[in-house]
Structure 1
Amino acid sequence: MHLLIKALTSFLLCVTASAWATNVMLIESYHYGYDWDKSYIAGLERTLGSDYTLSRFEMDTKRLPPSEFEKQADKAFAAYQATKPEIVVLGDDNALKYILPRLYDEPISIVFLGINSNPRHLLAEYEGQAKVTGVLELPLFVRNMREISMLLGKKNIKVKVMFDSGVTSEIAAEYILRQYEQIRRSLGIEIDIVNAVTFQGWQREIAATQSGGFDAVIVGLYQTLVDSEGNNVDSNQVLSWTNQHVEVPTFGFWDFSVGKGKTSGGVVLFGESQGQHAADLVKQINAGADASTIPIQIGRQGRAIYSASEMERWSLTPSSRWQNID
C-alpha cells in the first residue's frame, strides 16, 4: 500500500507539473541535425528548464528547395494549431518570413532568434494580434577583420568571404558589404564576398584564393550548396574539403565552423547564446511582460576562439584574448 501511494503521489506531481508548464513551440527554419539549431535549442532548453514544455517543428529549408518553403510553412502552421502554444519561438530568417504572415493575427506572443535581416518592415506589414520581439544575429565582421589583420601581422590584407546562396547568407553578405563600405579606408582591408550556388563553384573559388592574391579566407555559411545534379551537399564534406585544399589561413563567423579539420578560429557567434537570450525573453513574457514592449535586441557579443592545431598549421599565434577549443 505504501509503495502504491508513493507511486500515485509521484504520478500526480508529474501531471501537475506538466499541467502548469508553459507550452512553447519552436519553429525552426532548418533542422536539428544542423549544428546551429542543435546549439540554440540546447540554450533554449537549458534556460527554460522544467517550467516549460518545448515542442518543435523543422521547416528544413537548408536542404529543401525554395519551391517547398510555402508547403513547409503550411505544415508548421497546422502543427501550431494542433499544439496551441502560449508562446511561439521562430528560429532564423525563413521561419520569420514564412510563419509570421500565418501567425500575425493569432492571440499569442512570438519571440524570434537568429535573424539577420531587418525585421521591422515585415513586422509593419503584418501587424495584428500577435505580439512580437526577438534577437538579431549579425556576423562580427569588423572585429574579425581587425583580429585577422593582427594575427597575420599585416595591415593591408585581402580577404575572401565565402557564403552559399541561401537566404541567411545573402542577408549576411549584404550586411557585411554595408559595413565594409563604411569603414574600408580605416581598416585598410580589401574583401571579396562570394555567394556560391554549387559545390563546384565553391571549390573553384577556394582553389583560386592564393593565385588571386588573398591572404585569408573567411568561411561563412555553406549548408545550401548543391552538386551538379542539384542535390544538397553534406555541410561536413564542404568544410572538410575546404580545410584540405585551401592554401591560405581560414577563419569563421560561427562557432560550428571552427576546430581541427575545419577553420582556424574567429570572433564567432554561438547558437547557444542566441537560444539563451531568446529563452530569457520567453521568461519575461511568461512573467507578464508585453512582448510588443520589449525592444528587439542584438545577440550577445561573440567570443574569439581558435583551434591550436589549425593555428599551428599556418604558423599563427593568437593572443591571450582567444580561447583554445582543441
Structure 2
Amino acid sequence: MFCLAAVLLFLSLPARALDVLLIQSYHAGFEWDRNYIAGLEATLGGGYNLTRFEMDTKRLPEHVFDRQADKAFSFYRAQRPDIVVLGDDNALKYMLPRLHNEPISIVFLGVNANPRRLLAEYSGQAKVTGVLELPLFIRNMREISMLMGKRNIRVKVMFDSGVTSQIAADYILRQYEQIRLSLGIEIDIIHASTFDGWQREIQSAFEEKFDAIIVGLYQALVDKEGNNVAAHQVLSWTNQHAVLPLFGFWDFAVGKGKTAGGVVLFGYAQGQHAPQLVEKIAQGEDASTIPIQIGRQGRAIYSTYEMSRWSLTPSSRWQAID
C-alpha cells in the first residue's frame, strides 16, 4: 500500500523543466537574434528554462572570436544544460570543436554553411541536428524582375565581409551559375569591409547601369577607426542615398526607411523551427538521427511607403507590413 502511494505521488509530480542553453553568434540587440529568440521562447513554453550567452561576433573583431568561444564554453560548463542551441554560423563553427566530446545534444539554427564537413571532423559524444538558413535567391530574382516589369535586369547584391556573408554569397553564386541563362538576370555580388566602401558601392550603382540593389548583410562594417558601424545607421544611410530600388533577403531589412521588400527569411520562423527538434530530443530521440532540415518559411513582404517611393506595385502574392 505504501509503495503504491509513493508511486502515485511520484507520478503526480510535475516533470522537471529542461535547461536549454542558447549560444548566440551575435547579440540580443541584433534584430535577427531578437526575432529568433522570441520564436524560441514562444515555442519552447514553460517546460524549458532558456539561458543565453552572446558571442557578439558581429561587433567584435575576428581575432577575439576564439576567446569569446572559450568564454561560452566556460559558461556551458557552469550551466550544465540538458540541450544546447547554437545560433548561426559562428556559434557552430567555434563551439562544435569545444563541445563535440561533451555528453550533450545540440540543435543549431540560422546556419548558412553546409555543416557536413564540420560534423565529420568533430564527431564525438555530442549528438547534433539543426535548421539551415539559406537565402531565397531564385524566388527573389524572379519576383524582382516581374515587379520591375522587365526580364533582363542587372542587380547589385551587397554584403559585408563577415563569415555569414561570405557563406551566403557563395550559396547565391552557386545557384546563380546554375540558372543564369534561364533567369536572364545579371548580378554582381559585392563584399564591403568598411562603411566607406559600402557607401561608394551604393552611390556608384546607377552609373554602373544596375537596375536595383539587394541589401544582404551589413552588420560587420567598420569605420575609418576600425569601430563597428551600427546596423541601423548603415541601413538608414543606404535608404537615404540610394537612387535605385532597394530589396532585401531578410525580414529585418524591410520597412519604411529600409528596403522596399523581398522574398525574405524570418528570424522568428527559425526560432519556431528549432524547438520542434528540441522537443523530439526531450521525448527521447537521438539528435544525431534527426535529419538536418532547411527552414523555408520565406514569403514576399513589402513596405507600402518604400514601394510607392520607387513607383512599384507588388502583386497580390506580396504582403504589406506597413
Bucket of the pairwise TM-score, normalised by the shorter protein: over 0.9
**In the alignment, which residue of structure 2 is the partner of 1:295?**
291
- 1:22–1:158 Cα change, 3 Å: same
Give the counterpart of 1:226 among 222, 232, 246.
222
After TM superposition, give the deviation of residue 41 of structure 1 in Å.
0.4
Alignment of 1:141-220 (within 5 A): 141-220=137-216
Offset from partner CA, 1:261-283 (integer Å, 9 cap, x none): 00000000000100110011001
Shift of 1:301: 2.7
For residue 183 of structure 1, report the CA deviation from its aligned partner.
Answer: 0.4
Superposition RMSD in Å: 1.1
2:254 counterpart of 1:262: no
Quickly say closer, same or farther: Cα 1:216–1:142, change in 2 above 3 A.
same
State the secondary structure of the residue aligned to 2:94: helix
Q: Which residue of 2 aligns with 1:30?
A: 26
Equivalent runs, 1:233-272 vs 2, <5 Å:
233-272=229-268
Counterpart in 1 of 2:71? Answer: 75
How many residue pairs match? The answer is: 311
Runs (4+) off by over 3 Å: 16-19
Partner Cα separation in structure 2 for residue 230 and residue 238 of structure 1:
15
Report the Cα distance in structure 1 between the residues aligned to 2:82 and 2:239, rounded to whole angstroms: 44
Q: C-alpha separation between the residues in 2 aligned to 1:202 and 1:17? A: 58
Name the TM-score, length of structure 1 as normaliser.
Answer: 0.94
In the alignment, the residues of structure 1 paired with residue 14 and residue 100 of structure 2 have an alpha-carbon distance, to the nearest angstrom, of 28
TM-score, normalization by structure 2: 0.95
> Which of 56, 81, 84 in structure 2 is aligned with 1:85?
81
Contact 1:17 1:51 (C-alpha < 8 Å) held by counterparts: no
CA deviations over 1:8-59 (Å, ceiling 9, x no partner): xxxxxxxx99971000000000000000000000000000000000000000
**Counterparts of 2:13 and 2:157 in 1: how far apart (Å)?**
49
Number of the residue aligned with 1:57: 53
Q: Report what 2:109 is aligned to.
A: 113
CA distance in 1, matches of 2:26, 2:244: 31
% of aligned pairs identical?
75
Tell me the secondary structure at the aligned position of residue 132 of structure 1. strand
What's the CA shift for 1:75? 0.3
Q: What residue number does 1:102 align with?
A: 98
**2 CA distance for matches of 1:210 and 1:280?**
45
Output the amino acid matched with 1:109.
Answer: S
In structure 1, distance between residues paired with 2:81 and 2:60: 26
